[in-house]
Amino acid sequence: MEIGQSDVFASVATGIGTFQGFLIAINLLFLRKGSKKANLFLFALLLAQSLIIFQNFIVFSGLYYQFAHITLLFFSFNGLIGPLFFFYTLFLISPDRGLKWYDFIHLSFFFYLLFFTGNWDYINLPAYQKIEAIPYIYSQENYILSFTILISVLLKKSITLAYVLIAFRLINTKIKTLKNNLSDTNINYLRRFKLITYIFGLCIITHMSLFIIDYNYHIKIYKLEIYIHILNSLFLIVIAIITIQQPERLLFVLQKNKVTKLKFSKKQVHLDELLDLMLNQKPYLNPELKLHDLASLMNAPSHTLSDQINKELGLNFYDFINQYRVNEFKKRVVLPEYKNLTLIAIAHDVGFNSKTSFNRIFKKHTSITPSEFLTQKQVSTSEIGSKLN
């Protein structure tokens, strides 16, 4: 196969994707921070994705003449992406969780996908026949995707998509749980991971659609499919880099909370007592305030306090606390003693711990940005001053 201009670009793209994937995967293997089990599955996930890209790099770079047996060798690894991503998510959001007996059902399925869904007819061919077949598979316009291969690919992708959807549901459940127990605004990082998972799922659906188009209309789209693999790898690399450099950004809101069991004298939480405590003691100024911390101040069980906030105010704990933080910010930002502080500095003082989450939460509660609010207040003050003069 002659390497044209487009093949040069494809070989560079797959080469960079492979190199970055392998390099970061090795870093993950020796990483001592974060959840070890989650890191191990992320290592396996990134390694599998990198090997899929690597076999295409061998083709596009023209090295398949020397390494014919590597081409399509890792085809079955497509089926491993979903289970590996699921286990990575599972141990990321539950770092203290151990392996359960039913996890081995997934693992047995995992090995089935690895060893029994490979393209064995091609793998068992001698090298010279593989070299002859590569141009036909990768570039010739008259190549027709067989129904057997289509079903095999769609089966693997459907399994992957199912696992990604389960992981998405796990993340959603974790966010809801955290909102009912934590006021930490850095939960925003978990939302970003949720977005990455969502895009990852869309890539899989696009991948499946491309194969269906290829089968029905005989449109050659193989290189576009390779670029989707590279895009998948890019998302995994972003997650891996965060895990290596700043694991606390993903993990600190996911650590298991060690709650001391206390004996409470109260069974019922009175809303007026709660509101009075929030007004006078201002516990929301603590950026790491948790449900059980507030429950301890109220001398009440955590679940009772949570139920009362949900039923009486229609809010979860996360929104309840951040509502007070927003109101406190609105009070302080117009006071003379805070005029020399930046908006973010004041936000940190009232309990927010990141600029992104502060801006998002403020706009959610007020429908305007902090800067717009301050501008409105400044205009209002100047109008009052002009009337007094």
Give the containing element (helix H, strand E) for 288.
none
Q: Which pLDDT score, from 0 to 100, does residue 302 have?
A: 83
Q: Which residues pair with 290 in a beta bridge?
A: 182
CB 153, CB 211: distance < 8 Å: yes
Q: What is the DSSP code string of 360-379?
A: HHHHHHHSS-HHHHHHHHHH
Q: Is the pLDDT of residue 348 over 60?
A: yes
Q: Which pLDDT score, from 0 to 100, does residue 4 have?
A: 41
Q: Is the pLDDT of residue 126 over 80?
A: yes
Residues 224-240: what's their mean pLDDT?
Answer: 68
Residues 217-228: what's their mean pLDDT?
Answer: 64
Residues 28-43: what's their mean pLDDT?
Answer: 81
**For residue 229, what are its two tokens?**
């693999």
Which position has the token pair 């599972």? 90
149 or 333, higher pLDDT: 333
- Least confident interval from 174-178, 260-264, 272-276, 375-379: 260-264
**For residue 70, what are its two tokens?**
């590597």
pLDDT band at residue 388, thresholds of 50, 70 and 90?
very low
381 or 222, higher pLDDT: 222
Per residue in 191-217, pLDDT (tens digit) is 778 888 888 888 888 888 887 887 787
Report the range out of 78-92, 160-174, 295-309 with the highest average pLDDT: 160-174
Q: Which pLDDT score, from 0 to 100, does residue 329 have?
A: 92
- Least confident interval from 9-18, 23-32, 243-252: 243-252
Please enumerate in sequence order all residues whose Cβ is within 8 A of that of 105, keeping only pairs 6 or more positions apart, or say none: none
State pTM to two decimals. 0.71
For 312-322, give one letter per residue: b (16+ CB within 10 A) or e.
Answer: eeeebbbbbbb
Residue 357: name the closest of 376, 340, 342, 344 by CA. 344
Residues 363-384: what's their mean pLDDT?
Answer: 75
Q: Which pLDDT score, from 0 to 100, does residue 224 have?
A: 61
Q: Which pLDDT score, from 0 to 100, does residue 143 have?
A: 59
**For residue 346, what are its two tokens?**
């004041």
- Least confident interval from 7-16, 98-107, 229-238: 229-238
Residue 84: name the closest of 40, 116, 118, 117 by CA. 40
Per residue in 256-307, pLDDT (tens digit) is 444 444 444 444 567 788 888 898 899 999 988 888 888 888 888 888 888 8
101 or 258, higher pLDDT: 101
- 3-class SS at 330? helix
Q: Which pLDDT score, from 0 to 100, does residue 269 have?
A: 60
Q: Which pLDDT score, from 0 to 100, does residue 118 have?
A: 61
For residues 7 and 320, give the distance between their C-alpha atoms in angstroms, rounded to a whole number: 56
Residues 76-105: what's their mean pLDDT?
Answer: 84
Q: Is the pLDDT of residue 251 over 80?
A: no
Residues 88-94: what's their mean pLDDT?
Answer: 86
Q: Is the pLDDT of residue 327 over 90?
A: yes
